[in-house]
Amino acid sequence: MSDATVVKLFQPGSFTDPLTEVLRNGARALLAQAIEAEVAEFLAKHVDLKTATGLSRVVRHGHLPEREVMTGIGPVGVRQPRVRDRGAADDAGRIRFTPAILPPYAPRPAISRRRLRPCSARMHRACRPRLLLG
């Protein structure tokens, strides 16, 4: 017996056709190339800066977590490279990299612990639906 009445619902404004996926993959690759070029230019501009031990002061340091950036064809996943300044003693003198083509990275806000308080077993029993006997 098949469940023919089950219909998969999509989010409003989302597309799942193959052409849109090809476009999103192309946009993802294009954004990645542009960001990598921007990082390379940034590092080349600061290549002459050295630490007290003679190492490069500004270096690549992995990637930030992937996030979705809204584009004209919908959300596209992007990984922003992380750049580290090894020579700054404080935040005021730190050299920071921010790509011009991406909006600023904003981490998700912390969820209040009060809203995540676990319910007791007694509360669960009290909230169970009761059978109406007629």
Residue 113 lies in a domain: no
Residue 110 lies in a domain: no
Q: What is the pLDDT of residues 8-36, one digit of tens each?
A: 666 666 656 788 889 989 999 999 999 99
Q: CA distances (Å), 114 to each of 35, 43, 121, 122, 125, in order?
A: 40, 44, 18, 19, 21
Residue 122 lies in a domain: no
pLDDT at position 113: 45
Residue 48 lies in a domain: yes
45 touches 109 (CB < 8 A) = no
Q: Please give the residue that has the higher pLDDT: either 8 or 42.
A: 42
60 touches 83 (CB < 8 A) = yes
Residue 95 lies in a domain: yes
Q: CA distances (Å), 65 to each of 62, 105, 107, 110, in order?
A: 10, 10, 10, 16
Residue 72 lies in a domain: yes
73 touches 24 (CB < 8 A) = yes
Which range marks the domain in which residue 84 is found? 18-101
pLDDT at 133 over 60: no
Structural domain total, the chain:
1
Residue 46 lies in a domain: yes
Alpha-carbon gap, residue 114 to 117, rounded angstroms: 5
Alpha-carbon gap, residue 70 to 31, rounded angstroms: 12
Residue 70 lies in a domain: yes
Q: What is the pLDDT of residues 44-76, one digit of tens each?
A: 999 999 988 999 999 999 998 898 888 888 888
